[in-house]
């Protein structure tokens, strides 16, 4: 859209206003700064050239934001103590005026909010302060910046002439939006918007890369030692470190390098990934620009970790950190996580809850390479780490800035492979804060409990199903008779003996069945022969048979040989044994008893058929006894063993995970022997 | 996100199957130990049976 055309009052050249909202412009011919009063232009001065831009955006670039077309019509360049940035003035086709912030490869589109209501004074806002700005909602102060006007170009919706510096307060919301309070014009002005990527804006008519970026590296001479300093991002880097003398240099003005800091050789820390190395990560190529070592002191002991600054022209910056062989891949996040202060604070970000792990005061102890912002040894920051392995959410707080970053634990081999380092990475030591632990039992416990319930229910069903009583017979035992009968096997081979024995057996069976109960009859020698039961029929499936013997032993014992004899043509006799013992008395005035008068024989897998049971008692005193037989008795032990076997597998991973977590948290502020005194 | 454990599921199902089969057949880990062999003649003449320890007399408990 082309606006009114007029002539420069200084040189007469045509001045075309693209934006109807423009108040100030710069004559492209004579660089006079012109302020518009309706159609009249007033020259207020001559603008020096603003610093070069590092992105490909220029006046005339077009694009769209949320389906609204815009044209870049102007720019304000700012500088502050830690770097520089540009604000591009956007003239939208629908008449709106907006801004595209361009700072260290981070971009945001914002719009003025003239109806924001009462806004706080800049002095009330400090990094980390939460503030509600009327209808604009709730925000957290990120950075308070005192900036200097470094130049303008093109059309602006207000005049910047005679402005030297201004205070800006950047705010972030929990959902990642951005706001800026501009205190450059007395009354604060609120701008709100969001972070964007250049790709999302569909920019066209961009500057030629050659015009903006210096292709390749540039070399300078260190003013301290004369060594060669290689700049990989000339024009963009603010700091660089001489690799020979480790002097930190201000390289914003390449003709006048300034030594900011000198290092001692003894403090030199070699980076594991060399500066300038390029690696493939997240589908893009990243170059190592800078390296720093940061140190914290905990209870008098210093712990140092290393950070590598990576850069990709289209993706911006990210970091790698390394401590004790543990690596994290870190990116600064644009929003402010929801922070809950408690005995154990938490932070919520993108639906995940991070638990506070540690607070430390980090000091930069070594710097190498170059940085697009001011970095030097001695820089201090309060660092709070929140973890949700494998993620690590960190909040860094300095005097003028609060920033949040999100790291993800990465295997060292992955880092080395990405950057083509052939050495073997150092073996990680101990457990790191966000190191993924063993998987644990996962949902194994859920499954185990479901199956345990099924087993228990199965047991209750089986126990409720009464087993079948098959036999109940009684007998007596007299020691003399048993001894007379002889011990050990007495196979009866002769036919005569067999008949006699059968007759005895029948007599014994009749005698036994006639007994009305245990101990109902006085024992005699005839009853001491083996008890041969009446034949009984087992029907149904092959299943168990339980033989229970109750013997009235008193301060004595009884032993029973039990023979299950199938009748008919086939099948082997099966022999079992059990014994009972019951003793009792009074010892020093206290009654005692031990043992049991009951014995049980569980016979597994007895096929259906006709059987006879032979019970041969033995003992030292006479006693009477009763034999009962039951069929298909549920085995409680089988259910219990199954329950135990179900619960064993989840126990081991649970213990392994608990041990790992114990090691992890032993390094935190919440270790058993540490206090929470320094926590919020 | 907690993982389901297909390996454990298979293991638990196998245990349940084993329990059901053992229970169906009447097996029991506490089943009595059988004394073998028993002479086949006993089947024809059970009244002649005498246990292995018969008549030896022994003490199996008490103070």
Q: Is the pLDDT of residue A216 over 80?
A: no
Neighbours of A253 (CB within 10 A): 8
| Mutation target among A390, A391, A561 for the B interface, most CBs of B within 10 A | A561
Per-residue pLDDT tens for A496-553?
A: 333 334 434 444 443 443 333 333 333 344 445 789 999 999 998 899 999 999 999 9
Q: Which CATH class is domain A438-479+528-635?
A: mainly beta
Rounded Cα distance, A349 and A351, in Å: 5
pLDDT tops 60 at residue A296? yes
The dihedral through the CA atoms of A41, A43, A46, A50 has a sign that is negative
Minimal-distance CA residue of chain B relative to A631: B26
Any residues with CB less than 8 A from the CB of A428 and at least 6 apart, and which? A324, A325, A326, A412, A435
Residue A208 pLDDT: 75
Q: Which residues contact A111 (CB under 8 A, 6 or more apart)?
A: A96, A97, A98, A99, A191, A192, A193
Please report, for residues A442, A448, A658, the alpha-carbon distance to residue A653 in angstroms, rounded to integers and kept in the order given.
9, 13, 8
User: Count of A–B CB contacts within 8 Å?
Assistant: 232
Q: Which residues of chain B does A583 touch, with a Cβ-Cβ cutoff of 8 Å?
A: 61-63
- Does residue A246 register a pLDDT over 80? no
- Domain boundaries for CATH 2.60.120.380 within chain A: 438-479+528-635
How many Å lie between the alpha carbon of B21 and the closest alpha carbon of chain A?
Answer: 11
Does position A457 have pLDDT exceeding 90, yes or no? yes
Which of the residue ranges A299-303, A347-351, A444-448, A534-538 would you say has the lowest mean pLDDT?
A: A299-303
What is residue A84's predicted lDDT score, i.e. its pLDDT?
80
Suggest the residue from B12, B30, B36 to mutate for an interface test with chain A (most A CBs closer than 10 A). B12
Are B53 and A487 a contacting pair at CB < 8 A?
A: yes
Q: A448 and B32 in contact by Cβ < 8 A?
A: no
For testing the chain A interface, which of B43, B44, B58, B63 should be mutated: the one with the most A CBs within 10 Å?
B43
Q: What is the ipTM of this complex?
A: 0.73
Output the 3-class SS for A327-345.
EEEEEECCCCCEEECCCCC
Q: Reply yes or no on whether the pLDDT at A466 is more than 70.
A: no
pLDDT at A261: 74
Contact A398, A384 (CB under 8 A): no
pLDDT at A66: 93
- Chain B hits for A632, CB-CB cut-off 8 Å, are 26
- What the block records as the tokens of A631 is 């069929």
How far B18 CA lies from chain A's nearest CA (Å)?
9
pLDDT at A229: 80
Residues of B in contact with A560 (CB under 8 A): 51
Question: Is a pLDDT exceeding 60 seen at residue A68?
Answer: yes
A551-573 per-position pLDDT tens digit: 999 999 999 989 898 887 667 78
Q: CA A287 to CA A618: how far, in whole Å? A: 92
B16–A642 C-beta distance less than 8 A = yes
| Interval A130-150: pLDDT, tens | 888 888 888 999 888 888 888
- CA A514, CA A534: separation in Å to the nearest integer? 11
């Amino acid at each position: 859209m082309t606006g009114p055309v007029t002539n420069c009052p200084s040189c007469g050249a045509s001045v075309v206003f693209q934006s109807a909202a423009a108040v100030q412009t710069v004559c492209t011919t004579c660089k006079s700064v012109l302020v518009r009063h309706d159609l009249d232009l007033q020259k207020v001065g001559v603008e020096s050239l603003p610093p070069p831009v590092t992105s490909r955006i220029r006046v005339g670039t077009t694009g769209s934001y949320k389906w609204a077309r815009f044209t870049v019509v102007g720019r304000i360049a700012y500088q502050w103590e830690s770097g520089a940035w540009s604000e591009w003035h956007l003239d939208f086709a629908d008449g709106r005026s907006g801004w595209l912030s361009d700072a260290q490869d981070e971009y945001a589109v914002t719009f003025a909010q003239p109806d924001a209501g009462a806004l706080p004074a800049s002095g009330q806002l400090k990094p980390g302060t939460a503030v509600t700005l009327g209808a604009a909602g709730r925000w957290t102060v990120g950075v308070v910046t005192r900036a200097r006007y470094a130049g303008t170009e093109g059309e602006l919706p207000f005049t910047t002439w005679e402005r030297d510096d201004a205070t800006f307060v950047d705010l972030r919301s929990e959902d990642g939006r951005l706001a800026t309070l501009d205190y450059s014009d007395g009354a604060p002005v609120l701008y709100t918007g969001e972070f964007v990527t250049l790709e999302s804006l569909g920019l066209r008519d961009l500057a030629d890369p050659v015009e903006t970026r210096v292709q390749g590296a540039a070399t300078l001479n260190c003013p301290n030692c004369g060594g060669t300093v290689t700049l990989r991002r000339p024009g963009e880097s603010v700091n660089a470190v001489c690799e020979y003398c480790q002097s930190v240099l201000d390289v914003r003005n390449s003709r006048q390098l300034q030594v900011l800091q000198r290092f001692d050789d003894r403090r030199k820390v070699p980076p594991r990934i060399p500066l300038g190395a390029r690696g493939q990560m997240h589908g893009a190529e990243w170059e190592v620009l800078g390296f720093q070592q940061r140190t914290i002191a905990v209870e008098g002991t210093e712990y140092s970790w290393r950070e590598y600054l990576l850069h990709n022209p289209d993706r911006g910056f990210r970091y790698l950190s390394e401590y004790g062989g543990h690596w994290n891949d870190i990116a600064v996040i644009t929003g402010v996580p929801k922070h809950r202060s408690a005995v154990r604070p938490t932070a919520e970000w993108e639906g995940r809850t991070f638990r506070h792990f540690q607070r430390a005061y980090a000091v930069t102890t070594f710097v190498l390479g170059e940085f697009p912002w001011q970095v030097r040894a001695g820089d201090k920051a309060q660092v709070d780490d929140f973890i949700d392995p494998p993620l690590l959410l960190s909040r860094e707080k300095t005097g003028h800035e609060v920033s949040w970053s999100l790291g993800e634990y990465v295997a060292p081999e992955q880092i080395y492979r990405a950057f083509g380092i052939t050495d073997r990475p150092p073996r990680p030591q101990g457990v790191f804060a966000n190191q993924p632990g063993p998987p644990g039992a996962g949902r194994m416990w859920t499954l185990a409990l479901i199956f345990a319930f099924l087993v228990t229910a199965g047991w209750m069903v089986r126990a409720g199903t009464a087993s079948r009583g098959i036999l109940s017979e009684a007998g007596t035992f007299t020691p003399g008779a048993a001894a007379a009968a002889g011990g050990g096997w007495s196979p009866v081979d002769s036919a005569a003996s067999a008949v006699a024995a059968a007759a005895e057996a029948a007599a014994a069976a009749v005698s036994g069945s006639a007994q009305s109960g245990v101990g109902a009859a006085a024992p005699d020698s005839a009853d001491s022969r083996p008890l041969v039961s009446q034949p009984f029929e087992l029907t149904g499936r092959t299943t168990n048979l339980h033989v229970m013997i109750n013997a009235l032993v008193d301060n004595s014992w009884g032993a029973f040989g039990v023979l299950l004899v199938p009748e008919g043509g086939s099948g082997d006799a099966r022999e079992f044994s059990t014994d009972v013992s019951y003793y009792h008395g009074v010892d020093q005035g206290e009654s005692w008893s031990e043992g049991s008068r009951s014995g049980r024989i569980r016979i597994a897998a007895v096929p259906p058929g006709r059987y006879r049971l032979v019970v041969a008692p033995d003992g030292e005193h006479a006693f009477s006894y009763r034999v009962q037989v039951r069929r298909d008795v549920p085995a409680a032990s089988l259910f219990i063993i199954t329950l135990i076997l179900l619960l064993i597998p989840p126990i081991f991973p649970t213990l392994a995970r608990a041990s790992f977590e114990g090691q992890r948290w032993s390094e935190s502020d919440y270790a058993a022997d540490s206090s929470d005194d320094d926590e919020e | 996100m907690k993982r389901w454990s297909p390996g454990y599921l298979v293991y638990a199902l196998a245990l349940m199957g084993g329990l059901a089969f053992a229970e169906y057949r009447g097996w029991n880990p506490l089943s009595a130990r059988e004394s073998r062999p028993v002479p086949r003649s006993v089947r024809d003449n059970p009244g002649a049976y005498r246990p292995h320890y018969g008549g030896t007399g022994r003490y199996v408990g008490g103070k």
